[in-house]
Each structure stands twice: as C-alpha cells, then as structure tokens.
Amino acid sequence: MNIQIRGIHKAFASFPALDGVNLDIESGELIALLGPSGSGKTTLLRTIAGLEFPDEGAILFGGEDIANRPVRERGVGFVFQHYALFKHMTVAENIAFGLNVRKDRPSKEAIRQRVNELLDLVQLSGLDKRYPTQLSGGQRQRVALARALAIEPKVLLLDEPFGALDAKVRKDLRRWLRELHDKTGYTTIFVTHDQEEALELADRVVVMNRGRIEQVGNNQQVYEQPATPFVFDFLGSVNILPGEVKNRELRFEGSDDVWDSESKETGLVDIYVRPHDLQLVEAAAPGLDAQVTLVQRAGAVIRISANLASSGERIELELSHLDTLARSRQPGDAIRVAPITFGLFPRAPHRQPKTLPDVVPNAPAESRERAR
Amino acid sequence: MTADASLQDPPALPPEFRPEGPLLHRNAAISEPAWVQRILISLALLFLLGFLLLPLISVFAEALRNGWVTYKDALFEPDAIAAIKLTLLVAALAVPLNLVFGIAAAWAITKFEFRGKSVLISLIDLPFSVSPVVAGVIYIMIFGRHGWAGPWLDENDIKIVFAVPGIVLATVFVTFPFVARELIPLMHEQGTDNEQAALTLGASGWKTFWHVTLPSIKWALLYGVLLCSARAMGEFGAVSVVSGHIRGQTNTMPLHVEILYNEYQFAGAFAVASILALFALITLALKSYLEWRHGDELAATRRH
C-alpha cells in the first residue's frame, strides 16, 4: 500500500507538533522517521495510524484520503514502545485478539492456525500459553509485532520499537526485523531517535525537526549529503569552521590555502566537516595548523582533540590506528589538518551550540507523553 | 551462529522478589533489643484484644446469653426480618449504582483530559469529608415536605424521604467514593496504551472496554465493591435522618439495633447486631482473600 501525506498540520494547544509535512512512501518500503524529542516524528506516526487527527491536510492510502477515518477502520498494525500487550491474556490470546473482535470473525480453527503461523514467523512457537509478564522484553516486542500482523495490516507502524530494550537485544531484534520485512513485504514506518538504528535498518530515512521534514533520502544520501545544517549535526558529530567562498574557491578562515567548491554558496559560510573526514597531512601540504590537546585510543579509532592555531577553535578528529601520522601523537604536538569532504552552509547569524538541545523547550509534555 | 538475545527468556527473579519471600527476614541494623520488641508487641496485642476483639466477641456472647431459643425468636420477629431484608435490599440497589458511577467516574478521570477535572476529583471525595448526618439533612431539604422539590413530589404522589428511595439515595451518597477511589490509581497507572492497541486491532469502544479495560481492573473493582457493600449495610447517620424510623418499613438493621437498645430489649438488639457483625466479618474475609489475590496481580502488572 503506497502512502501519500499532503500538507499535514497538527498543533497541541499553541505548540505546532506538525507544521506542513509532505511525504510519499512507496509500497513495501521500510521507512525511518528520525528526529530528536519533540520533533513531531511520533505525532506523524500516530496521525498516520489515526490515533491523532490532523488539523489540516490529507493522508492517502493507495490514493484514498483516510485522514478523517477512525483508527479501527484504517487497518494499520501499530506496535507501541512499551508493547501494550494485554496482561490478562496469554500470548496466543493476544495475537488472536484482532481476529476475535472482527465482525466477520474467522472460525476457531482458522484463528488457531493463523496464530500458530504468526508464532512461527516471530520464532516464539511453544510460548503460546505464557502470559506477557513471563516474557523478556525482546519476546514481548515479537508478540506485539505478531499481534499487529494478525490483522494483515495495510501498513505496519512501529513507535520506538527498540527503545526499551538492552543494547544486545536491540541489535539482534533490529536485524531480525529487517529479515522479517524482506520476507513479508509490509510497508513499514518506524520512529526512532537513534541515528544508527535508522541508518542501519531503513530503506529511506526521514529526518524531522520542529514539526518539519528536513530531508528524505536513503542512508547514504542523508549521511553523506545532508541537506541542512541540522541533518549534518544530528546524524553524527561535526566540526563547524568559518570560511569564505569566492569564485568557486573556498578559503578557511586563518589559512591561505584554497579548496575547490562545487557548492552554489558564495560569501561567508560555515564549513561542516565530520571528525572522520579530517586527515593529518605533511607540514608542506595545504591545511590548517593546530595543536593537540587530547588523544584517546578507542579500539581501531584514534580520537584527537586539537585547537586551531589561527582561532583557538576546538576541533575533533577520528583517525584510523593504521594512519602513520596519527600514531604516537602526544598532547602539545603541532599537527596539520586537511578536510577530505565537507558541507557548506551560509554563515548562521549566531553559531549554534554543537550539542543539540534534547527537547524542544516549549513542547507541552502531553504532546510527547500522551500515549503513556 | 550466535544466539539471538531478543529470543531469550527473562532472567529468573532475584530471591527478594520471589513469591516465597526474601531469604533474609530480619535486618539487624534496624531492629530493637529483644525486651523492647516484646513490650511493643504485647502492647499492640493488648490493644487489639481490648478494643477490637473483645467487643466483637461480646456481641455474640450477649446475643446468645439467654440461650439459642431467645436468639432465634429475636431474629425471627417480623420487624427484625423486615430490617434485615431492607438492609440487604438497600445494599443490593446502592452497590450496583455506585459500581456504574464509580467506573464511569474513574474512566473519565483517568482516560481523558478535560477542564474541571480536579474539581471532579475533589467532589468524589466529598462524601468522605462531609458528616453523613449533613448528607441526610441535605436530602430532607431537597425532597422533604417543606423542601425544594417537596410540593411537586407531593402532587405527583412520589415518596422519597421516609421511604426506601431516600434510604438508597443517602446510602449511595455516603458510599460513592469507595469504587472510584479504588479504581483511579490503578487505571491511572495503566494509562491508555492498551485501549489504543485494541482500537488499532479493530475493536469497537464497547469491545475494548469489555475485553481489555474491565479485565485489567477486575480485582480492584471487586475490592471496591466489597468495601462499598460493607459500608452500605452499616451506614447509620445519613440513613437515620432520611428513614423516619418506621418499624417494619423504613428501619434498616443499624437503626433497628438502636431502637431495640433504647427500649431495653438487649437480647433482640444484640441478636440483630450479631447478624450485622456477621455480614461485616464475611465481607472482611472476602476482602482479605481478594487482597491476597489482587496483591499478586498488582505485582504482576508492575513487573515490566
């Protein structure tokens, strides 16, 4: 089922949770809605499900506008962050619930057969008589998924599906969910604030911020060609350096060396460089002089913090342990740094803090916690 | 191939959370010396014995003082039977009413956001803070002969005060908070995730309530109903004001006990009192049983 979202606006009191969202989703795609808390990603998911109604805009399932249809007529499978399993029902009863409440209820035998198929699919055969409290977090999430799949939904929606799980369980479940998606082919949308999760699992990532979509693209596009400074900053860490573009030539502030620029930006710019896109170069090569302040070795990665000689600005580098120039660096050493790739954006009037605020400050609590 | 961590069973509970209880019962660091413990325990036991157990025993002892036959005669006297019947009837009407009101109030308060919610919560607590006599007087002022609705009721020949409807109204008022108060904390903790899940799975509102909400609150609900019925059978103050004390017609058991006692018919008074006490004991026993069951279930819902 392909889904089109057209001009969705939704406000909680005076807080605009969704501020004009447009999105096209192809049938069978696995899409991640990625963003910080309060970015509107969960509200968008709940609006698609019919658990929230938009103030404005249309949602088309296979060409048909369903924005004003109640949730139970939409045929969506929704998996909640905290599973929302029915605690007084066994695993089998939980999975069968959606079939039992149907008007055209299938026969007992048909339901039993379908439940067994689904238990097989989520690899929990034999646990049908257990109650949710007797299951681990990973098992509960699988039951929640089987329950959502039982109604053969047009689209599968998952709200922070791995949010409440241990790191190891999360990783295994992620891989399994990808396999399950490839096997069943349901159009799937999931919400996450974990960029690694989004990049690893999804066909396409939708990066959201303050109720708007910043960029839609496959994981390579959003990571390597971020459309906005926000996307650059949110998907991994970044150094922001001042510079200037003239006649397609980029000059870093405090350096006479020139880099080619294919960007259409001109004038004063902010240069966004990821720590692993910086390299150490010989003293004669084009680059920026800096002084090492901290060296950390983490596995195969050497992290170096350094202050630029020209401005004193702090930069971070991530280098391979195989890099001969990076080896045996000590705090106090003079180094020369050159960017391999970078992004250019017009100079921001006020330089943004390097760490993102976790929560949009004026977001009302209920817009994020309504489901609890 | 490595084992998939998301398929693993939950770990066994540590000893202190197992149903059979913790391995360590005593914590020496917060214990008193043995002689202090003994004195405190004896004091507590003496108090329980003197103020709770002895009166209860004496009710039954006094009732049976003149032998089984007198006891039976006192109970099978028509006025006494009428009082017992009326008490059970009032409880049978008031408790279901409060069951419905209580669920509705708890549902509204815990599953929806609306203006004036805190006022509603305070209103539910009102019967706990207002003296039952005041509640009775209020009904007299509204429905009595000289009350606001009195003339209209007279014209249409509807009797509320000094009749069964008045007694039921007063009892409903006094016992209103029991069911709602029991449900609100539990339903608040459970949130609305389960209801939303049921809706996405295609259940109607009614099916969601019947198959999802109600089963998850059933023990708390039963517990509230038991407390409510115990209070409904024992209510004196409010009922005393609105009943009019008409023997054989509007006398409930507590009122009947008082009348007999004031007329120096001690055997009769204690006989009826013993039945009232018996009802209370049965309720208490049921309540303890449910508390034990319900405690388990509560623990289960809290374990995530």
What DSSP string describes B152-191? HHHHTT---TTSHHHHHHHHHHHHHHHHHHHHHHHHHHH-
User: In total, how many domains does chain B have?
Assistant: 2
**Do B16 and B124 lie in a common domain?**
no
**Do B95 and B216 lie in a common domain?**
yes
pLDDT, tens only, A195-204: 888 998 999 9
Strand order in the sheet with A314-320: A278-280, A334-339, A288-298, A301-308, A314-320
Q: Do the bridges between strand A334-339 and strand A239-246 make them parallel or antiparallel, or are there none, so unpaired?
A: unpaired
Using the predicted structure, report yes or no on whether residue B24 has a pLDDT greater than 60: no
Give domain status of residue B153, yes or no.
Answer: yes
* DSSP code per residue over A255-317: ---EEE--SS--EEEEEEE-GGGEEE--TTSS-EEEEEEEEEEETTEEEEEEEETTT--EEEE
**Do B202 and B116 lie in a common domain?**
yes
CB < 8 Å from A in window 156-195 of B = 191-194
ipTM rounded to 2 decimals:
0.80
> What's the burial of A292, exposed, middle or buried (CB within 10 Å: 0-12/13-18/19+)?
middle
Are the beta carbons of B201 and A98 separated by less than 8 Å?
Answer: yes
Give domain status of residue B60, yes or no.
Answer: no
**Do B157 and B43 lie in a common domain?**
no
In one letter, which amino acid is B224? G
Show residues of chain A in contact with B7, CB under 8 Å.
123-124, 138-139, 142, 172
- Which of A91, A136, A176 should we substitute to test contact with B (largest number of B Cβ atoms within 10 Å)? A136
Give domain status of residue B228, yes or no.
Answer: yes
Give domain status of residue B61, yes or no.
Answer: no
Give domain status of residue B237, yes or no.
Answer: yes
Show residues of chain A in contact with B211, CB under 8 Å.
86, 97, 101
Using the predicted structure, report yes or no on whether residue A21 has a pLDDT greater than 90: yes
Give domain status of residue B82, yes or no.
Answer: yes
**Do B181 and B242 lie in a common domain?**
yes
A270, β-bridge pairs:
A242, A345
**Do B6 and B119 lie in a common domain?**
no
Looking at the complex, does the CB of residue B19 fall below 8 Å from at least one CB of chain A?
no
- Could you give the C-alpha distances from B154 to A338, B135, B142, B160, in angstroms and in order? 99, 22, 13, 10
Taking CA atoms, what residue in B is nearest to A177? B6
Judge whether B99 and B180 are in contact, CB under 8 Å: no
Q: What token pair was written down for B13? A: 């509970």
How far apart are the C-alpha atoms of A277 and A283, rounded to whole Å? 18
**Do B119 and B170 lie in a common domain?**
yes
- Which of A97, A157, A197, A370 should we substitute to test contact with B (largest number of B Cβ atoms within 10 Å)? A97
Give domain status of residue B304, yes or no.
Answer: no
**Do B201 and B236 lie in a common domain?**
yes
Are the beta carbons of B202 and A51 separated by less than 8 Å?
Answer: no
How far apart are the C-alpha atoms of B304 and B288, rounded to whole Å? 26
Using the predicted structure, report yes or no on whether residue B278 has a pLDDT greater than 50: yes
pLDDT, tens only, A285-318: 888 889 999 999 888 899 999 998 888 889 999 9
**Do B167 and B104 lie in a common domain?**
yes
In one letter, which amino acid is B214? L
End-to-end CA distance of chain A: 29
Which CATH number goes with the domain that contains B95? 1.10.3720.10
SS3 assignment, position B54: helix
**Do B168 and B286 lie in a common domain?**
yes
- The answer to whether the pTM exceeds 0.80 is no
Count Cβ atoms below 10 Å from residue B121 Cβ, excluding itself: 14
Instruction: Give the structural domain span for B13.
Output: 2-54
Q: Which of A188-192, A252-256, B280-284 comes out lowest in average pLDDT?
A: A252-256
Give domain status of residue B131, yes or no.
Answer: yes
Using the predicted structure, report yes or no on whether residue A371 has a pLDDT greater than 60: no
Mean pLDDT over all residues of chain B?
84
pLDDT, tens only, B136-195: 888 888 887 777 887 777 788 777 778 888 889 899 999 999 999 999 999 988 888 999
Are the beta carbons of A87 and B300 separated by less than 8 Å?
Answer: yes
Taking CA atoms, what residue in A is nearest to B218? A88
How far apart are the C-alpha atoms of B197 and A38, rounded to whole Å? 22
**Do B166 and B289 lie in a common domain?**
yes
How far apart are the C-alpha atoms of A3 and A1, rounded to whole Å? 6
SS3 assignment, position B10: coil
pLDDT, tens only, A154-168: 899 999 988 878 888
Mean pLDDT over all residues of chain A?
87
Show residues of chain B in contact with A139, CB under 8 Å.
6-10
Residue with tokens 């008022």: B173
Show residues of chain A in contact with B196, CB under 8 Å.
51, 71, 78, 80, 84, 371
Helix ranges restricted to H, chain A: 41-49, 91-100, 108-121, 137-149, 167-184, 195-201, 219-224, 229-234, 365-369
> What's the burial of A291, exposed, middle or buried (CB within 10 Å: 0-12/13-18/19+)?
middle
pLDDT, tens only, A320-370: 888 888 878 889 888 999 998 888 888 877 655 555 555 555 554 444 443
Q: Quote the pLDDT of residue B298.
A: 54
Using the predicted structure, report yes or no on whether residue B276 has a pLDDT greater than 80: yes
Taking CA atoms, what residue in A is nearest to B300? A133
Q: Which of A67-81, A353-367, B71-85, B282-296 comes out lowest in average pLDDT?
A: A353-367
Using the predicted structure, report yes or no on whether residue A372 has a pLDDT greater than 90: no
**Do B205 and B270 lie in a common domain?**
yes
Are the beta carbons of B215 and A165 separated by less than 8 Å?
Answer: no
Cross-chain CB nearest to A138 (options B6, B211, B216): B6
Looking at the complex, does the CB of residue B116 fall below 8 Å from at least one CB of chain A?
no
Are the beta carbons of A147 and B198 separated by less than 8 Å?
Answer: no
Closest by Cα among B275, B286, B274 to B228: B286
